[in-house]
Amino acid sequence: MKDSLQILLTSIVDYAGLFPPAALDLPTTLANWRRYVTCPEKWMLGRLIVPIGKLDEFARLVEREACIPGPGEDAWRLSVLVSDNLDADIDRIFEFNRRFAGESAGPSAAAAASAGSDPFDVPDVVVAGGIVVDAIEVKAQSGKHIDTAMKIIPEQLEPFFEVPVAGGADVRGLIIAMNGTGAAAKIRMGGVTPEAFPAAIDVARFLVACAAADVPFKATAGLHHPMRAEYPLTYEPGCARGVMFGFLNVFAAAAFARIGFIPGTRPAEADLVNVLEESNSRAFIFDDGGFTWRDKRLENARLARVRESFAISFGSCSFEEPLNELKGMGVL
């Protein structure tokens, strides 16, 4: 495997087996996750995605299965989809971290408050052993909502605010509201029906806005495949088909949005549409020094900077599908 591809794919997949179209139950999702974190391609895994409503059930399950990573093992990192009751959800998350990430995860918000201390003046969570929620995902309602939420969310949690992009929605106001706050954006790339997929121009507009505002992002839904093409929309026999974005397309477009086709310049949205709609896998060439899309090139150092601080990850209900298709392409 070429160095540039490893840089692009490291920690890129947030496993979301609980969500459609897989919609697995929690025991199956946990069993899959336990296999994935020990497989040779575990370096591609990011976080495990769990909704707040299943966090207690998840806690009971890992205790019953006695599968909590021990000292010296890599921690399991979770991202939790929270509800509108942000205060209560954060308290539940801190209680979870107290139980499963050790004392260095900090006390619960309620316990700290009852002791008369700042509930969020706690040490950083551990990064080796245990299970830790270190990110949350929130639906952005308005710029004011983001501002209010960021006053509540502690620095130990990385927040991703999902912004609506379909139908030409103007996302700039929401993304500008995240600038300088430590918040990141989230874009929904599809679903189980054709109308759930945004137009390429809407995705390009989102990427340009994030790059201009210096706001990192993650993607979710509809990115099971490396390359843009028509695929089945679910795993049901005879299901509808639709054109889906490829995660190589999206993250290549994000890299160019951030760095520019010529470093230091911002590409036009229409130029990024061409990257997003590229369907020829041979147009993407990875080597040990960088990657090239047609005649545009990005060196490894810039690609690494994009992945570290801008294009964070994408959620997928399958880890094996993107992995197997990359192998089928002959790049892994």
* This model's pTM is above 0.85: yes
Q: What is the pLDDT of residue 102?
A: 52
Domains of the chain: 3-329 (3.20.20)
What pLDDT shows up at residue 156? Answer: 94
pLDDT (average), residues 38-63 = 98
Place of tokens 């021990």: 70
Token digits for 114?
């009852």
Q: Flag whether pLDDT at 129 surpasses 50.
A: yes
Main-chain dihedrals φ then ψ at residue 281, nearest 5 degrees: -60, -25
Q: What is the strand order of the sheet 296-299 is part of?
A: 284-286, 290-293, 296-299
Q: Which residues pair with 161 in a beta bridge?
A: 138, 185
Cα–Cα dist 332/329, whole Å: 8
Q: How do strand 284-286 and strand 290-293 relate by DSSP bridges?
A: antiparallel
Provide the 10 A C-beta neighbour count for residue 235. 15
Among 176, 105, 174, which residue's Cα sits nearest to residue 140?
Answer: 174
- What are the tokens at 299? 């060196």
Q: What is the pLDDT of residues 11-45, one digit of tens each?
A: 999 999 999 999 999 999 999 999 999 999 999 99
